[in-house]
Amino acid sequence: MDPLSHLRRAAGLDPQQPLTHLGGGDVAQVWRCGEAVIKTLRGAPSDFFRAEARGLALLHEAGALAPEVLFVDEHGIVLQYLAPSAPRFDALAVLLCGLHQPVAEPYGSDHPLYLGRLPLPAGTSTDWTQHFVERRLTPLIAQSHPHLSPALRRQLDRYLANLVLPTEGPCVVHGDLWSGNLLHTADGPALIDPSAQIGERGLDLAMMKLFGGFPESVFDGIARRRPISPEVNAAIGPRGAYQLYFLLAHVAMFGPGWLGGVRQIVDRRG
């Protein structure tokens, strides 16, 4: 079965509409089909695209702009196409402050989710540090295992055993907020490709800082509306535990070239 043909039929798209390959898909293959976007991934787990659909729904429920899901199954996902427009980074600060409003829910997710193509387990907890260590960092360390020396693995074990994360309160987080997962549209900034869950806003802020692409005015706009404490700033910075999360994911997906950043973080505590 051709996944593209199947998804076009299932979503009710015009079979004669030409497909245009879109760049920027680091994990899936992405095409535009008229006013829709089709994403597929060879060998994807059966729940991979449904996890994305749940994440987009969670962002919508929190008031963030994200593409509407037109169809999803194990073969792929069909999304509303959002036309690009000029960046409005002032609006991004407003969007993120709205997304990160406190919620009366435990940390985590009732369903498994993915960071890139890496599976992360379901489960919830009222203890953020415990949840982050057991259901986020530990699974990524296991998936990075082929690239970790015994000495670095011991350092990581010690780091996790002593980790205490600052908490501001549970909120919805995008979970993988690098600049490639932000669209600038006529209606304002929109979020795509989430690893959405209930977490701490520092997780999103850390990913934004790790690879750049966001002007300092965004962080200033966020801080004006909700100050960022020194403890949270330390956790989201280049030696912080939240950046360790994303660096371990890159080790697992792309190999040992990302180990330098991991070592810099764990060397701080030995």
Q: What is the pLDDT along the chain (270 residues), one digit of tens a residue?
A: 788 999 999 999 998 899 999 875 567 899 999 999 999 998 899 999 999 999 999 999 999 999 999 999 999 999 999 999 999 999 999 999 999 999 999 999 999 999 999 999 999 999 999 999 999 999 999 999 999 999 999 999 999 999 999 999 999 999 999 999 999 999 999 999 999 999 999 999 999 999 999 999 999 999 999 999 999 999 999 989 999 999 999 999 999 999 999 999 998 654
Domain definitions of the chain by residue range: 3-80, 89-267
Provide the CATH topology of domain 89-267.
Answer: Aminoglycoside 3'-phosphotransferase; Chain: A, domain 2 (3.90.1200)
- Identify the pLDDT of residue 22: 86
Check 2, 26, 176, 187 and give the catalytic one. 176
- Identify the pLDDT of residue 200: 98
Token digits for 254? 């792309």
- 191 forms bridges with which residues in the sheet? 182
| pTM, to two decimals | 0.95
How big is the CA angle at 100 (ends 180 and 98), to the nearest 5 degrees?
90
In eight-state DSSP terms, residue 179 is G
How big is the CA angle at 79 (ends 68 and 38), to the nearest 5 degrees?
175
Best CA proximity match to 131, nearest among 148, 109, 112: 109
Cα separation, 264 vs 270, in Å, equals: 10
Q: Which CATH number fits domain 3-80: 3.30.70.940, 3.40.50.2300, 3.40.50.300, 3.30.200.20?
A: 3.30.200.20
- Identify the pLDDT of residue 270: 43
Token digits for 189? 């900034």
Q: Is 176 a catalytic residue?
A: yes
Task: Count CB-CB contacts under 10 A for residue 179.
Answer: 11
- Identify the pLDDT of residue 182: 96
- Identify the pLDDT of residue 24: 58
The dihedrals phi and psi of 171, each to the nearest 5 degrees, come to: -155, 165
- Identify the pLDDT of residue 15: 86
All residues at 6 or more sequence positions from 9 whose CB lies less than 8 Å from its CB, including other chains: 15
